[in-house]
Chain A
Amino acid sequence: MRLTVDHLTSYRYDVPVRSVVQSHRLTPSAFAGQKVIDWEVTVTGGVRGASHRDGAGDVVQGWTIAGPVEEVAVQVRGTVETEDLAGVLRGHRESVAPDCYLRETAPTRIDVALAALAASASGSDCLALAHALSLAVSDAIAYRPGVTHAHTTAAEALALGEGVCQDHAHALIALARARGVPARYVSGYLFATEDGTPHEAAHAWAELHIPGLGWVGFDPANRCCPDDRYIRLGSGFDAQDAAPIRGVARGAAVEEMDVRVAVLQSAQ
Chain B
Amino acid sequence: MGQFNEMYQGTEVRAPYARLQDWVATMPEELRSLKQAEAEALFRRIGITFAVYGEGGDPDRLIPFDMFPRVFSGTEWARLERGIKQRARALNAFLVDVYGRGEIIRAGRIPAHLVYRNEAYEKAVVGFVPPKGVYSHIVGVDIVRTGPDQFYVLEDNCRTPSGVSYMLESREIMMRMFPDLFRENRIEPVDTYSEKLRRTLASVAPAKCKGEPTVVILTPGHFNSAYYEHSLLADLMGVELVEGQDLFVEGEYVWMRTTEGPQRVDVIYRRIDDAFLDPLCFRPDSMLGIPGLMDVYRSGGVSICSAPGAGVADDKAVYTYVPDMVRFYLGEEPILQNVPTWQCGREEDLKHVLANLPDLVVKEVHGSGGYGMLVGPKASKDEIERFRAKLVEDPANYIAQPTLALSTVPTFVEEGVAPRHVDLRPYCLVGERIELVPGGLTRVALKEGSLVVNSSQGGGVKDTWVLAE
Whether A102 contacts B126 by the Cβ 8 Å rule is no
Whether A248 contacts B291 by the Cβ 8 Å rule is yes
**CB-CB nearest in chain A for B127:** A55
What count of chain A residues pass the 8 Å CB interface test?
30
Q: Which of A129-157 contact B (CB under 8 A)?
A: none
The docked-state distance in angstroms from the alpha carbon of A102 to that of B114 is: 12
Whether B295 contacts A50 by the Cβ 8 Å rule is yes
Q: Which of A51-103 contact B (CB under 8 A)?
A: 51-52, 54-56, 60-62, 64, 66, 95-97, 99-100, 102-103
The docked-state distance in angstroms from the alpha carbon of A54 to that of B297 is: 12
A123 in the interface, Cβ–Cβ < 8 Å? no
Contacts of A66 in B (CB 8 A): 250
Q: Interface 1/0s, chain B 228-259, versus A by CB < 8 A?
A: 00000000000000000000111110000000
Contacts of A97 in B (CB 8 A): 102, 105, 112, 116, 126
Partner of B292, one of A23, A52, A103: A23
The docked-state distance in angstroms from the alpha carbon of A97 to that of B123 is: 9
Min CB distance B378 to A, Å, is: 35
Min CB distance A24 to B, Å, is: 9
Whether B291 contacts A50 by the Cβ 8 Å rule is no
Whether A49 contacts B112 by the Cβ 8 Å rule is no
The docked-state distance in angstroms from the alpha carbon of A19 to that of B291 is: 11
A246 in the interface, Cβ–Cβ < 8 Å? yes
Contacts of B296 in A (CB 8 A): 49-50, 62
Contacts of B112 in A (CB 8 A): 97, 99
- Tally the A-B contacts, defined by beta carbons under 8 Å: 101
The docked-state distance in angstroms from the alpha carbon of A66 to that of B251 is: 10
Whether A54 contacts B250 by the Cβ 8 Å rule is no
B388 in the interface, Cβ–Cβ < 8 Å? no
The docked-state distance in angstroms from the alpha carbon of A49 to that of B208 is: 14
A22 in the interface, Cβ–Cβ < 8 Å? yes
B210 in the interface, Cβ–Cβ < 8 Å? no
- Using known A-B contacts A56-B123, A95-B126, determine if residue A100 contacts B116 with beta carbons closer than 8 Å: yes
The docked-state distance in angstroms from the alpha carbon of A64 to that of B251 is: 6
Whether B123 contacts A55 by the Cβ 8 Å rule is yes
Partner of A51, one of B105, B126, B294, B299: B299
Q: Interface 1/0s, chain B 91-103, versus A by CB < 8 A?
A: 0000000011110
Min CB distance A174 to B, Å, is: 15
Q: Interface 1/0s, chain A 101-116, versus B by CB < 8 A?
A: 0110000000000000
Partner of A21, one of B117, B125, B249: B249
Whether B123 contacts A64 by the Cβ 8 Å rule is no
Whether A22 contacts B123 by the Cβ 8 Å rule is no
**CB-CB nearest in chain A for B99:** A55
B151 in the interface, Cβ–Cβ < 8 Å? no
The docked-state distance in angstroms from the alpha carbon of A59 to that of B291 is: 18
Q: Interface 1/0s, chain A 8-50, versus B by CB < 8 A?
A: 0000000000010111000000000000000000000001111
Q: State the 4 A-B residue pairs at the shortest beta-carbon distance, nearest first.
A: A55-B126, A50-B299, A62-B295, A99-B116
Q: Which residues of B contact A (CB under 8 A)?
A: 99-102, 105, 112-113, 116-117, 119, 121, 123-128, 248-252, 279-281, 284, 291-292, 294-296, 298-301
7 A–B contact pairs at CB < 8 A?
A49-B251, A51-B295, A62-B249, A62-B296, A96-B123, A97-B126, A246-B281
